[in-house]
Structure 1
């Protein structure tokens, strides 16, 4: 194996087409196919499945893809680290954010701080679901991710940041400033799919009290969820920061869930296998300083000791 073939292989998997990958890489398709064949010969494994719609990795190809991204990322970081010796930090830092997290409130302060302190560093912000963000951290597409975590993930180092209480959000028949979980179970609920941290926490609390939720829809999109709640068709459960945002947009109310009170820990996740680049470490330190500022504490978010 060599780095060039690994780079070609990763690009093919990312694009899903030999023809389009050849165009992006500026090489002839037969030559690219030969590079893949050589790689398959070296590993004695079929790496790609060719179909009329393009190419997809085999199980062996998926394993190689993960390792290849890590290897290429490490090579890139090594080059940057050497180039940055005695120089101003530069390069790109990719950060993932779970939708509706408290971290979204520090996006602009983070960009402003990085621009002021690290003018040659480009910050790339990517918003997606928690499980997808962890995968992107593991394969090197993201340097770090801020998301709600309830259980350890292999290959991920997770640093606690904050805890957020869960709130009920709606636009009709406000129950008051607090609402018991037993009352929530009787309402028409819009919740995310069962792999989300919020859904897992709600399902867990309901199961412990032998309650069954009236789930009328499973919605991932923030805009669609906002429209559904604004229409009055039902209510939803969200962490405080996301609840405030949705309630404000939908002109609705929010009530803290009690009996039991529920919260979710917000974490900063990085790869346990790859060290952060100097510029990513610098951005991480800025992010940590912003999260722990008093302005966030005043929003009644509890700092994790």
Structure 2
């Protein structure tokens, strides 16, 4: 194997088409097909399944893709580290954010801080579900991810950041500052899909209380969720930071769920197998400092009051 073939293979899998990958890579399709055939011969494994709609990786191809992404990313980091030795930090740093996390409100302060301290570093922000973000961190597509984590994941190093309580958010008659879980079960709800950490925590709480949730829609997008709640058709359950953000931009209210109180742990996840580049480490430090600021300020307000 060589790096060029690995680069070609990753591009083909990412695009899902030999023809389009050849155009992007500026090489003839027969030559690209030959590179794949050589790679398959070296590994003695079929790596791609060719169909009329394009190409998809085999199980062996998925394994190679994961390793190839890591290898190529490490090569880029090694090259950047050598080039930038003793110089200003440069390069791209990719961060995954689960929708509705406390970190979502810090995107602009993060971009501004990185711009001021490391003007040659480009920050790429990617929003997706927690499970998808962990996968992208492991295969090298993301440097780090901030998400609500419910269980340890192999290949991931997780740093606990804070715990957030869950709140009911709605736009019709407000039940007050607190609401019993049994009363939440009587309401129409918009919730994310069942792979979401928020959904898993809510389902778990309902099951323990022998209750059933009245789910009338599954929504991932915070913007769409805001519109759905504002319509008055139903409410939703969100961590406190996301709940406050939604309430501040709409006519909705938020009520803390009790009996039992529900919470989720916010974590910063990085790969356990790949060290962060100097640029990624610098951005990580800025992100941690921004995440700690609201918690410090909240503690100070509590002491004053």
Residue aligned with 2:21, SS: helix
Residues 1-305 of structure 1 aligned to structure 2 (within 5 Å): 1-294=1-294, 297-298=297-298
Superposed CA RMSD in Å reads 1.6
Shift of residue 117, structure 1, vs aligned partner: 1.1
Contact 1:164-1:301 at 8 Å conserved across structures: no
* Number of aligned positions between the proteins: 302
Contact 2:90-2:122 at 8 Å conserved across structures: yes
Contact 1:163-1:301 at 8 Å conserved across structures: no
1:78-133 per-position Cα deviation (integer Å, ceiling 9, x unaligned): 11111111111111101111111110121111111111111111111111111111
Shift of residue 255, structure 1, vs aligned partner: 0.3
Residue aligned with 1:292, SS: helix
Unpaired segments ≥5 residues, structure 2: none
1:124/1:301 CA distance change after superposition, 3 Å: farther
1:179/1:36 CA distance change after superposition, 3 Å: same
In structure 2, distance between residues paired with 1:295 and 1:215: 33
In structure 2, distance between residues paired with 1:271 and 1:18: 30
Contact 2:99-2:220 at 8 Å conserved across structures: no
Contact 1:163-1:266 at 8 Å conserved across structures: yes
In structure 2, distance between residues paired with 1:123 and 1:129: 19
In structure 1, distance between residues paired with 2:299 and 2:148: 18
1:245-291 per-position Cα deviation (integer Å, ceiling 9, x unaligned): 22233311100101111111111000001000011001111111111
1:159/1:211 CA distance change after superposition, 3 Å: same
In structure 1, distance between residues paired with 2:247 and 2:300: 17
In structure 1, distance between residues paired with 2:217 and 2:7: 42
Unpaired segments ≥5 residues, structure 1: none
1:29/1:249 CA distance change after superposition, 3 Å: same
In structure 1, distance between residues paired with 2:240 and 2:50: 47
1:272/1:147 CA distance change after superposition, 3 Å: same
TM-score (norm 2): 0.96
Consecutive aligned runs of 4 or more in structure 1 exceeding 3 Å deviation: 294-297, 299-302
In structure 2, distance between residues paired with 1:301 and 1:45: 61
Residue aligned with 1:298, SS: helix
Shift of residue 298, structure 1, vs aligned partner: 2.2
Contact 2:169-2:255 at 8 Å conserved across structures: yes
Shift of residue 10, structure 1, vs aligned partner: 0.2
